[in-house]
Amino acid sequence: MDFQILDGKLISKQIKDEIAEEVSQMIKRGQKQPHLSAILVGNDGASETYVAHKVKACEQVGFKSSLIRLEDTVSEEALIKEIEKLNKNNDVNGFIVQLPLPNYISEDKIIESIDPKKDVDGFHPVNVGRMTIGLPAFVSATPQGILDLMNRYKIETSGKHCVIIGRSNIVGKPLSILLSQKSDIGNATVTLCHSRTQNLKEITKQADILIAAIGVKEFVTKDMVKPGAVIIDVGIHRVKSDQTKSGWKLKGDVKFDEVAPLCSYITPVPGGVGPMTIVSLIKNTLAAAKKEVY
Ligand code: GUN
């Protein structure tokens, strides 16, 4: 079967170009440049890469960005003080605290100390609650990016069976709510699977749309997929490779080579969900600057 790539790199570039145009119009009208700030604790390699991508995306669309680096020995109180400064800083429209944090810091407490009006990651319980009941809210970037990507390829979700593997607060849980919501990009029947799900394969084989967000490299194999399904791969795993210059290669939660020939559409890793996630953060920041949510 011929499959089509859901090209997140291409679509994210189109969306960034649209946003860049809008920002240049805003500036021509004398409005302020949107400003995204990020707090990065420590020097975790993956977090460094993600934050660098976010800063680069800001440059591409004409946003101001600022990066606040803190040592990985920073106390919870000192981190909350930095957050409170950003909450009050009128020049900053939105900000994120890159996760994960050192394990002696409570991520829940940190997220709750962010002003929901500046929580462009959409992680604060107020935003999660508002999203859940369909009120305007900042929506978590990865689920929003997946919905935008499917929408741009005109993939119908209404009445379809979407199976999500993974129940994280950042991806699986919000995605299950958004896809089942009564809206143009929802109206799906959703099954949320996780590590305790029994007969996983029987369930995934029923999926019209299968979303792998379990964080296990190449977890989804061809025997788990219904022919013609749409496959969304949220995983990012760095593996050693002697085929690339960098010595590393990225793999997803899906065994791409054997699954792709079975499906109608599939996201690659890299170049699928990842770039869409960054674009969602940019969209949320623009919405914050335009006061569209609050
Ligand atoms: N770590 C992994 N994904 C994310 C994300 O979307 N936002 C933040 N702040 N940290 C992350």
Shared domain check, 110 and 165: no
What are the pLDDT digits (tens) for 166-193?
999 999 999 999 999 999 999 999 999 9
Q: How far is the CA of 100 from the centre of ligand 1 (A)?
A: 7
Closest ligand 1 atom to 121 CA: 7
Residue 90 lies in a domain: yes
Positions in the chain whose pLDDT score sits under 70 = 1
Residue 289 lies in a domain: no
Q: How far is the CA of 277 from the centre of ligand 1 (A)?
A: 9
Closest ligand 1 atom to 96 CA: 9
CATH number for 230: 3.40.50.720
121 lines ligand 1 (CB under 6 A): yes
What are the pLDDT digits (tens) for 53-101?
999 999 999 999 999 999 999 999 999 999 999 999 999 999 999 999 9
Residue 181 lies in a domain: yes
Shared domain check, 228 and 176: yes
Which of 50, 67, 70 best tests ligand 1's pocket when mutated (most atoms within 8 Å of CB)?
A: 50
- Predicted confidence at residue 197, as pLDDT, reads 98
Domain span at residue 193 reads 141-275
Residue 248 lies in a domain: yes
Ligand 1, atom 2, residue with closest C-alpha = 99
Residue 136 lies in a domain: no
Q: How far is the CA of 51 from the centre of ligand 1 (A)?
A: 9
Three-state SS for the chain is CCCEECCHHHHHHHHHHHHHHHHHHHHHCCCCCCEEEEEEECCCHHHHHHHHHHHHHHHHHCCEEEEEEECCCCCHHHHHHHHHHHHHCCCCCEEEECCCCCCCCCHHHHHHCCCHHHECCCCCHHHHHHHHCCCCCCCCHHHHHHHHHHHHCCCCCCCCEEEEECCCCCCHHHHHHHHHCCCCCCCCEEEEECCCCCCHHHHHCCCCEEEECCCCCCCECHHHCCCCCEEEECCCEEEECCCCCCCEEEECCECHHHHHHHCCEECCCCCCHHHHHHHHHHHHHHHHHCCCCC
| Residue of 7, 16, 54, 148 marked catalytic | 54
Shared domain check, 271 and 151: yes
98 lines ligand 1 (CB under 6 A): yes
Residue 178 lies in a domain: yes
- Predicted confidence at residue 172, as pLDDT, reads 98
Shared domain check, 210 and 161: yes
Contacts of 237 (CB under 8 A, 6+ apart): 217, 250, 251, 252, 253
Shared domain check, 92 and 218: no
Is 182 one of the annotated active-site residues of the chain? no
Which of 41, 99, 113 best tests ligand 1's pocket when mutated (most atoms within 8 Å of CB)?
A: 99
Which of 51, 54, 86, 96 best tests ligand 1's pocket when mutated (most atoms within 8 Å of CB)?
A: 96
Shared domain check, 70 and 155: no
CATH number for 92: 3.40.50.10860
Shared domain check, 226 and 184: yes
| Residue of 98, 144, 148, 251 marked catalytic | 98
Shared domain check, 269 and 155: yes
Is 54 one of the annotated active-site residues of the chain? yes
Shared domain check, 148 and 111: no
- Predicted confidence at residue 117, as pLDDT, reads 98
- Predicted confidence at residue 85, as pLDDT, reads 98
Residue 24 lies in a domain: no
Q: In angstroms, rounded to a whole number, what is the distance separating the alpha carbons of residues 186 and 34?
A: 30
Q: How many domains are contained in the chain?
A: 2
Residue 294 lies in a domain: no
Shared domain check, 94 and 35: yes
141 lines ligand 1 (CB under 6 A): yes
| Residue of 16, 118, 119, 121 marked catalytic | 121
- Predicted confidence at residue 181, as pLDDT, reads 97
Is 28 one of the annotated active-site residues of the chain? no
Shared domain check, 106 and 166: no
Shared domain check, 254 and 219: yes
Ligand 1, atom 8, residue with closest C-alpha = 98
- Predicted confidence at residue 282, as pLDDT, reads 98
